[in-house]
Structure 1
Amino acid sequence: MHSRVFELQLLKLLPQSTFTQLKQIHALLITTSLNQNLQIFSKFFRRSTEFGTMEYSGLIFSQLGHSFNREVILWNIMLRGYSFNGLSHKCISLYDEMPLRGLKPCNYSYPYVLNSCSNMGWYRKGKIVHCQIVKSGFEFAYAVAISLFNMYMRTLDSDNVGGVNEGSLGDARKVFDDMSMRPVELWNKMISGYISIGHVESSRCLFDTMLERDVVSWNCMLSGYAKIGDAEKARDLFQQMPDKNVISWTSMISTYANAGDLITARKFFDNMPSRNVVSWNTMLSSYSQHGEYGTALDIFVQMQSQGVISDGYTFVSVLSACSHLCALEFGKLVHYLIKDWSQLGVIVRTALIDMYAKCGEINMAFTLFFKIGKKDVFCWNVMINSLAIHGRAEDAMKIFYMMQKSGLIPNDFTFSGALFACSHGGLVREGQKIFNGMEKYFGVSPKIEHYGCLVDLLSRNGKLEEAMYLIKDMPFKPDIAIWGALLGGCKIKSDFKLAVEVMDRVTDLKADEPGVYALLSNMYASVGQWPDALTIRETMEDKKIEKNTGISSVICNVSNERPDLRKKKESKC
C-alpha cells in the first residue's frame, strides 16, 4: 500500500518537474528498481523529451534493456520528442528503423512521422508513409487521418505548379471524405484549400453541404469571391450571414476593390461598425493600386487622426503613393512616423528607398540602402534601377556586383536594371558582358525586354549594325520598343536609310505609336528636309495618331498637420 502511494505521488510530480528534478527522479527510479515499471518509466521518459532538447532522452533510449527496447510506446515517445523539438529528420530516421527491429508502428506513431515529413518538405516520403498506413489499416484512426489531411494541405503552400497543387488537394479531399468525424474547422480548411488554387465554385459546393457553419466558414467563402472579384455573389452571401465581424466587412471591401468599384468599396468601409488596421490597409492599398494616390494619402491621414497604429503593410502602401505623386515632404513625414524598425521587414525599407529615389533624393536612398542589414533580391533591384534612372551607371554596376558577392542570385529584374544602367551610362562592353553571362552563369534566359535594353545600348552608342544583327538573331519577334530604340540610334547617326526601313517594320506591326513617328519627323526636320517631316506629320493626322503633351506635377502645401494633396501645380513640357 505504501509503495502504491509512492508511485502515485511520483506520477503526479513528473509533469511539473524541472530538468534537475527529473534527473533526481531518474536516479530514484534506478535505485528503487521502478525503472522496470513500464507505466512509471514511460511517464518519466516522456517528460525527458519536453525540455527542448533530446540529448538526455537519446542517451536513455540508447541504454534501454532488451525487453524495453521492443516496447513500441517508448519508440513513440522518441518519435514525439524528435517531432516536437524540431528534429524531424531524426524522427523519420527512427521510424524507418522500427521495421528493421521487428516493430510495427501504430496509430500513435504515424501522426509524428507525418508531421515531420511536412516540416521537412518531404511530401514524397509522406505519400510512402500514407501507403504504409493503408496497409496497416490505421487510415481511419482519427489522429492519423487529421495528420494526413494537414500534410496534404501543407503541400499546397509548398508547391508552385498548379497541377501538383490540384493533386495534393485531391488527396486531402479523399482523406477528408473518409473521416468519421469532421469538425467545422476541418471543413473550413478544405474550403480554404479550394480557394487557394482558384476553385471557388468547388469551395461553394462544399460550403453548401455543411451542416454547421461558423463565422470563419462564411468569411472563407467571402474571401474566395473577393479573390476573383465576384461582387454580386459576395454581396448575396454577405447579406445571408447570421453574424458579421470585421473580417466579413473587410472581405467586402476587397471584393469591390478587386472588381474596380472603389465607390462601393468605400461605402462598405464607411459603414463598418468597427475597423482594425487590416480594414484601413485594405482601403488604403485599394486606392493606391488603382492610381488614386491622393485619396490613399487622405486615408492614411485619417488613420493617424483616429490613433490607428500603422504596420508594415500601411507604410508600404502609403510610401508607394508618395512615390507616384513625388510627394517628398509627405514621404519624409511617413519616414518620421516609422518608430519600431525591428518589427518591420525589409520590404518597408525598400519602399522607403524607392520613395526617396523617385522623389529625387537619390543620396538619401543610397544611404538608407547601406543601413539595411539583410537585403533581399527585390531591395537590390530597386537600388540598381534607381541609380540607373538618376544616371549613376557606375554606382549601379557596383551594387550589381556587390549583390552577387553577398550570395544572392540575380533574377530577370536585376538584369533589366543592370542593362538599363549600362544603356544610360554608355557602358557597351559591360552591357554585352552582362547580357552574354545571363544564361551562361546564372541560368536566366534573356527575355525580349533584355534584348530591348541591349539594342538600346548599342543604338545609343552608334553601333547600329551590331544592333541589327542582334535583332535578326533574337528568338522573339521585335516589338515597337525595340524598333523605337533602333530608330533613336538612327537619329544619333543620321542614318535615314535605316530609319525608313525601321518605319516600314513599325508599319507592319500596325502599332500606331506616336513616339516613333514624331522621332522620324524630327529627324527630317533637324536636317532641313521639311517636306519629308511634313509627310510624316500628315501620316499621323491621317491615322489619327496624337502625341500627348508631357505633364509634370508637384505636390504643394504638405504640412505635418494636414497635408493638402489636392493642390497641384501643373506645367506642360
Structure 2
Amino acid sequence: MTWDFDLKITGLLPKCTFQHLKQIQAFLITTSLAQNIPIFSKFLRRSTEFGTMGYSDVIFSQLGDHFLNETILWNVMIRGYAFNGPVENALLLFGEMLQRGVKPHNYTYPYVISSCCEYGWYREAEIVHCQIVKSGFESNPSVANSLFNMYLKMPASKQETTDSKLTNARKVFDNMLVRPVEACNRLITEYGNSGDIKSARRMFENMKERDVVSWNSMISGYAKAGEVANARELFDSMPERNVISWTSMIGVYADAGDLDTARQVFDEMPHRNVVSWNSMISCYIHHSKFEETLSLFLQMQSEGLLPDGYTFVSALLACSKLGDLEFGRYVHCLIRDWSQLRVMVGTALVEMYAQCGDVNRSFSIFTKIGNKDVFCWNVMIRSLAIHGRAEDAIKLFWSMQKAGTRPNDFSFTSTLFACSLGGLLEEGRRIFASMARDYQVRPKIEHYGCMVDLLCRNGQVEEAQVLVRNMPYEPDTAILGALLAGCKVRGDVKSAETVGKRAMESTAEESGVYALLSSIHADAGQWPEVQEAREKMDEMKIHKKTGISNYHAEAC
C-alpha cells in the first residue's frame, strides 16, 4: 500500500498546483511518508518551483536533525535559491551545510558556483573550487562545466589578465572527462576575442567532432583578427553553412573595407533573415554609404521581410545624414509595433526629423517616448540648440533631471553648446560649475571649448583666458580660435597676436587662424601684417574655408 502511495504522489507532484501541494503536505504529515526522505525531497523541490522560496523556507526551518543530515534536502534548497533568489541565501545555506558536517556532492557544487558568479563572489568561488578538488568532484561533468563557465565569466582584475583567465578555464577544460563540443566552441570564441587566433585554431583542429557553431566561431575569430583570406578559406571548406556563416563573412569583408565583396556574399546567400539584412545595411552605414543603405532598405521591403528596430534605426540614420525628410516620413509610416521598438527607434526618429529641419515634429515625438534614456534626452537638447531654441534646450536639461535621468558628459556638451549659441552667459557659468561639484562629471576639453566660446561671444575675453590657463589640458586650435575671435570683437591686437602665434604653432594648416589674424590686423589698419598673413597662407597653400568651431560641429 505504501508503495502505491509513493507512486501516486511522485506522479502528482510535477503537475500539482500550489493549493494541491499544501494538501499533499498535510497527507505526508498524517502518514509515515513524512519520514520518507526520497518522497519528502521531491515534495520540497516542487515547493521551490512556484517562483518564491517563502513556503519552502518555512518547511525547511521546521525540519529535525534526522532530515538536516540529508545532503539531498540541502541541495534542493540551494537549487531553489539559485533559481528564485535571493542568491546570497544559497551561499549562506552552503556555509551552514558545511558547519553541520553535511557533505556536499556533485549535485551541490554547480548551484553553489553559479550563485557565486551571480553574486559576484569570485574569490569565494575559487575557494569552493579548492573544496571540489579535495572532495574529488573536479572531473564530474556538471561540476567541471560550472567551473569552466565560472572562469570564463570572471572579470579580469588588475592582477589578472584575460590570458590568465583563459588559462584557468583551459585547465578545467583539460581535466574534463567529457569535453562537450559546446565547451570547445566557447574556448574558440574566447581565444578569438582575446586575439589569440593561433590557440583558437589549435583548439579547432584538435576537436574530435565539430558542429556549424565551431566553424562559425573560428570564422568570427579570423574576422576579429582581420585575416580575411583565412576566414574565406575556412568558409569555403565548411561541410554545411547556415545563415550565421554567411552573415559572418559579410562582416569579414565589410571590416576590411571591401564592401563590393561583402555585397556579393550577401547577394549569394541562399537564405537571408533580418539579421543578414541588418548586417549588410549596417556595413553601408558604417562606411557612410547612405544612399546604398536606403536602396537596400527598399529592396528588403520589396522581398516582404519585416524590419526590426535595428533596421529602422539604420534607415533613419541614413535619412538624417542625407537630409531626406520625405524618405524619413516613409520609414516612420512603416513603424507599427512601438511596444517592441521602444526608445531606440523613437530617438532615431527624433534625430531624423531634427536633422531634416522639422524640429517641432521632432519634439512632438520626443514627448511621446516612454522611459527615455539619457541618450534620447541628449539628442533632443542638441536638436533644440541647433535650431536656435537655446532656452528650450536649457529647460529640457533641467526637466531631464526632474524626470530622474542623470546627465552625462554629452548632456553637458549639448547644453553648454546651447548656452553659447543663445548667449546665456550666467546659465552657462552655472551649468559648467555644477558638473564636477554636483554630478561628479569631470569637464573634458570640449566642455572647456564651449565655455571659452560662450565667454568670448559675450565679451568676457579675460575670464576666458584665465579659464584656458587653469584648465588641465593643452588648448587645441578650436579653443585658441575662439579666443582669437574674442580678441577680434574687442579689437585687442596685442592679445590676438599672442593667441594667434600659439594657435599657428599647434597646427600650421588651420586656415581660420590665419584668416582671423589677418582680419584683426585689417581692422586695426595694420596692412603690412595683413599682407604677411596672406602671403603665409599662399606659401603654405592654405585656403580659407567656411565652417564652425569643432565643438559646434560635434554638437551638430
Where do residues 513-552 of structure 1 align in structure 2 (5 Å cutoff)? 513-525=510-522, 531-548=528-545
Superimposed CA distance per residue, residues 432-468 of structure 1 (whole angstroms, 9 cap, x where no aligned partner): 2222222222222222112111111111111111111
**Percent of pairs with identical residues:** 59
Where do residues 154-165 of structure 1 align in structure 2 (5 Å cutoff)? 154-156=153-155, 164-165=161-162
Superimposed CA distance per residue, residues 518-547 of structure 1 (whole angstroms, 9 cap, x where no aligned partner): 233344455665554443232111101133
Q: Distance in 1 between matches of 2:512 and 2:205?
A: 55
Superimposed CA distance per residue, residues 258-281 of structure 1 (whole angstroms, 9 cap, x where no aligned partner): 111111111111111111111111
Residue number in structure 2 paired with 1:75: 74
Query: CA separation of 1:467/1:537 partners in 2, compared to 1, >3 Å: closer, same or farther?
Result: same
User: Aligned-pair distance for 1:408?
Assistant: 2.9
Residue number in structure 1 paired with 2:136: 137
- State whether structure 2 residue 242 is matched by structure 1 residue 232: no
Farther-moved stretch of structure 1 (98-107 vs 197-206): 197-206
SS in 1 for 2:239: coil
- State whether structure 2 residue 123 is matched by structure 1 residue 124: yes
Superimposed CA distance per residue, residues 299-337 of structure 1 (whole angstroms, 9 cap, x where no aligned partner): 111111111110111011111111111111111111111
User: Aligned-pair distance for 1:165?
Assistant: 4.1
Residue number in structure 1 paired with 2:412: 415
Residue number in structure 2 paired with 1:44: 43
Structure 1 counterpart of 2:309, one-letter code? G
User: Aligned-pair distance for 1:286?
Assistant: 0.9
Query: CA separation of 1:131/1:432 partners in 2, compared to 1, >3 Å: closer, same or farther?
Result: farther
8 Å Cα contact 1:229-1:256 kept in structure 2: no
Structure 1 counterpart of 2:234, one-letter code? L
Residue number in structure 1 paired with 2:551: none
Q: Distance in 2 between matches of 1:224 and 1:348?
A: 31
Residue number in structure 1 paired with 2:23: 24
User: Aligned-pair distance for 1:166?
Assistant: 4.1
Q: Distance in 2 between matches of 1:198 and 1:17?
A: 51
Where do residues 297-336 of structure 1 align in structure 2 (5 Å cutoff)? 297-336=294-333
Residue number in structure 1 paired with 2:114: 115
Q: Distance in 1 between matches of 2:491 and 2:243?
A: 64
Structure 2 counterpart of 1:236, one-letter code? E
Aligned residues between the structures: 548
Equivalent of 2:378, from 365, 376, 381? 381
Equivalent of 1:477, from 474, 479, 487? 474
Residue number in structure 2 paired with 1:441: 438
Q: Distance in 2 between matches of 1:133 and 1:542?
A: 76
8 Å Cα contact 1:162-1:197 kept in structure 2: no
Q: Distance in 2 between matches of 1:393 and 1:536?
A: 36
Residue number in structure 2 paired with 1:10: 9
Q: Distance in 1 between matches of 2:446 and 2:302?
A: 44
User: Aligned-pair distance for 1:491?
Assistant: 2.4
Farther-moved stretch of structure 1 (484-493 vs 119-128): 119-128
8 Å Cα contact 2:459-2:489 kept in structure 1: yes
8 Å Cα contact 2:504-2:510 kept in structure 1: no
Superimposed CA distance per residue, residues 123-171 of structure 1 (whole angstroms, 9 cap, x where no aligned partner): 3332332233233332222211111112222335xx6979554443333
Structure 1 counterpart of 2:214, one-letter code? S
Structure 2 counterpart of 1:340, one-letter code? D
Structure 1 counterpart of 2:420, one-letter code? S
Superimposed CA distance per residue, residues 242-268 of structure 1 (whole angstroms, 9 cap, x where no aligned partner): 211111111111111111111111111
8 Å Cα contact 1:155-1:165 kept in structure 2: no
Where do residues 25-424 of structure 1 align in structure 2 (5 Å cutoff)? 25-156=24-155, 164-424=161-421
- State whether structure 2 residue 485 is matched by structure 1 residue 488: yes
8 Å Cα contact 1:316-1:348 kept in structure 2: yes
Q: Please report the RMSD computed on the Cα atoms of aligned residues, expressed in angstroms.
A: 2.2
Q: Distance in 2 between matches of 1:384 and 1:196?
A: 37
8 Å Cα contact 2:342-2:369 kept in structure 1: no
Query: CA separation of 1:161/1:322 partners in 2, compared to 1, >3 Å: closer, same or farther?
Result: farther
Q: Distance in 2 between matches of 1:397 and 1:492?
A: 26
Query: CA separation of 1:544/1:231 partners in 2, compared to 1, >3 Å: closer, same or farther?
Result: same
Q: Distance in 1 between matches of 2:11 and 2:360?
A: 66
Structure 1 residue runs of 5 or longer lacking an equivalent are 551-573
Query: CA separation of 1:511/1:198 partners in 2, compared to 1, >3 Å: closer, same or farther?
Result: farther
Residue number in structure 2 paired with 1:497: 494
Query: CA separation of 1:40/1:170 partners in 2, compared to 1, >3 Å: closer, same or farther?
Result: same
8 Å Cα contact 1:15-1:47 kept in structure 2: yes
Query: CA separation of 1:373/1:441 partners in 2, compared to 1, >3 Å: closer, same or farther?
Result: same
User: Aligned-pair distance for 1:64?
Assistant: 1.0
Farther-moved stretch of structure 1 (405-414 vs 387-396): 405-414
User: Aligned-pair distance for 1:401?
Assistant: 1.8
Query: CA separation of 1:356/1:496 partners in 2, compared to 1, >3 Å: closer, same or farther?
Result: same
SS in 2 for 1:212: coil
Q: Distance in 1 between matches of 2:210 and 2:427?
A: 62
8 Å Cα contact 1:184-1:214 kept in structure 2: yes
Q: TM-score, normalization: structure 1?
A: 0.90
- State whether structure 2 residue 460 is matched by structure 1 residue 463: yes
Q: Distance in 1 between matches of 2:515 and 2:277?
A: 45
Structure 2 residue runs of 5 or longer lacking an equivalent are 548-556
Q: Distance in 2 between matches of 1:163 and 1:136?
A: 27
8 Å Cα contact 2:413-2:446 kept in structure 1: yes
Q: TM-score, normalization: structure 2?
A: 0.93
